[in-house]
Amino acid sequence: MASQTPISPARLLSKTSHVLPGALHVTELHFEVPLDHASPSGQKISLFARSARKDERPIVPFSATEKENKDKKPYIVYLEGGPGFGCSEPQDHSLTRHALDRGYQVLFLDYRGTGLSTRIDPRRVGAMGSPEEQARYLSMFRADSIVKDLEAVRLCLTSGWELELQTWSIFGQSFGGFVCLSYLSKYPQGLREVFMTGGLAPIKRTPEEVYLALYKKVIERNEAYYKKYPEDISNVKAVARHILTGGPGQRLPGGGYLTIDRLLGLGMSFGLHGGIDAVHSIILSLAMDLKQYNAFSTSTLMSLERQVPLDANPIYAFLHEPIYCAKPGDAANHAAFRAGQNFEQFSWLRPGIISVSEDHSPLYFSGEMIYPSYYSSYPELEHIKDAAQILAQKSDWPELYDEDQLRRNEVPVFAVSFVDDMYVDFEFARETARIVKGIQVSETNRLYHNALRARSDEIFAQLFKMRDEELD
């Protein structure tokens, strides 16, 4: 394994505990780590986490030794999808119940830049100096930095514990699985076991290869949408015509603009359980607004904004393509925008080419793609537009994965992979699984990408069955 940046323990700034309904003991933790772990004396950022364990009140009070041992239950750390999203509260996440029943305590850590950790505020970043300085700052929020934060927090929380308790388990959903693979590559000595759902990253593929594959699945999901809701062929076109005749774009309650790109960006939900129905609900509301008022209502537009919340989660926009820049030399260069123009179904990406005629040909929604136009239609993203362009052209990204280390892997890894995943190409996921030594993978065509939330009992049954059973 290539030499890695040495990690110092995070500094614990504060720790407060509360008991929630359901006998859940939650501790709120604030840490301090370097912005750049290679410069530990430089700028600092804060990390926020919540740990959860069962609140135990025995008939006979715990002795001091028993209390100390109770607090040393092995950790399982939840790694959220994204990039750019913080964790939900422990009482609201399906992992909590399943993990506590198996004897873990659970840590929900907000990645740097998200949740209650030091956040990325585009307005503040936009005032930091030149676009180049802003881009340098924003580049520090990828998985290569996240895994160093995780290792620093592990060293802090388990300091002084028995050696066998100092390693921890990690559980990555979607992008969280990408982080798992980076952690396995860089700091495997900190890991006891790894669980992943929909997170086998395409580690050997370029950004453009990734999107060329993903668009094909997005086309399939569009066809499923219009098969279920054929009336939306005309509804979507009616909404699009209204947008086009309204000039530069319909003003949204949050300050941005409803453009064709933003409308069709609703397809980002198509790969989720219930996603097709959620998009139909918004399209139906938009179409009914036009029939009744010849204008869109504020409540409908607010629903549309909430569906793709890039203003609230800007990392998802400017670091989405760079998560596929796995090694130095890779540059995103708006790969989703470029790849989409290879498909006739997405001809609306080409300048001046969009058909909203009243015929039976549907307008195709995009999927999990970020387009350059979003930096003009989302008001928060406008503040970092120039910096985001620099990041799109950046090619000197640090390495995210160490294939040699993954091929030598000794950490138990258990993954669920979705055949019809619209966000992580199934064949590329298989390609990655063949690299990771010892991985066990359950492949299913019965579940979609958000099954951890929508079908959690099935997911945990599959994962823990793999963990508990011995293979000959």
- Cβ distance 133 to 22 under 8 Å? no
Residues with pLDDT less than 70, the chain = 1-3, 65-66, 68, 247-249, 353, 472
- Cα angle: 77, vertex 81, 83; to 5 degrees: 115
Do 424 and 432 form a contact (C-beta atoms < 8 A)? no
Separation between Cα atoms, residue 208 and residue 86, nearest integer Å: 27
Sequence-ordered list of residues with C-beta below 8 angstroms from that of 346, at least 6 positions apart, any chain = 215, 340, 364, 366
Q: Residue 62's pLDDT is what? A: 78
Question: Dihedral, CA atoms, 406, 407, 408, 414, nearest 10 degrees?
Answer: 60
Q: What is the pLDDT of residue 166?
A: 96
As a three-state string, the secondary structure of 335-356 is HHHHHHCCCHHHHHHCCCCCCC
> What per-residue confidence (pLDDT) applies to 116?
98
Q: What is the pLDDT of residue 352?
A: 72
Q: What is the set of active-site residues? A: 174, 421, 449
10 Å CB burial of residue 236 (0-12, 13-18, 19+) is buried
- Long-range CB contacts (within 8 A, 24+) of 97-103: 98/456, 98/460, 98/464, 99/171, 100/52, 100/53, 100/54, 102/464, 103/73, 103/74
The Cα 204–Cα 323 span in angstroms is 12
Positive/negative CA dihedral, 341, 345, 348, 354: positive
CA–CA distance, 203 with 181 (Å, rounded to integer):
9
Type of residue numbered 167: T
Task: Fill in the amino acid letter for 375.
Answer: Y
Q: How far is residue 199's CA from residue 205's CA, in Å, rounded to a whole number?
A: 15
For residue 387, the surrounding DSSP H or E stretch is helix 385-393
Q: Which CATH code of 2.40.50.140, 2.60.120.650, 3.40.50.1820, 3.40.50.2000 fits the domain covering 11-203+400-468?
A: 3.40.50.1820
Residues contacting 190, CB < 8 A, separation 6+:
150, 151, 154, 155, 167, 168, 183
The pLDDT of residue 311: 96
pLDDT of residue 350: 87
Comparing C-alpha atoms, which of 335, 453, 466 is closest to residue 93? 453
pTM, two decimals, is 0.95
Name residue 196's beta-bridge partners.
172, 415
Domain ranges across the chain: 11-203+400-468, 209-393
d(CA 388, CA 380): 12
Largest CA distance in the chain: 76
- CB-based contact 218:422 (threshold 8 Å): yes
Q: Whole-angstrom distance between the N-terminal and C-terminal Cα of the chain?
A: 29
Q: How far is CA 446 from the centre of its chain?
A: 22
Round to whole Å and give the CA distance between 4 and 405.
12
**Shortest CA distance to 453 belongs to which of 114, 98, 110?**
98
Q: Helices 94-101 and 456-468 sit at what angle, rounded to 10 degrees?
A: 30
The structure tokens listed for 416 are: 């669920």
CB-neighbour burial class of residue 328 (10 A; exposed 0-12, middle 13-18, buried 19+): exposed
Contacts of 312 (CB under 8 A, 6+ apart): 380
Paired strand residues for 46: 32
CB 193 within 8 A of CB 169: yes
DSSP state of 435: T
At residue 358, the pLDDT reads: 72
For residue 233, which of 347, 363, 349, 366 has the smallest C-alpha distance?
363
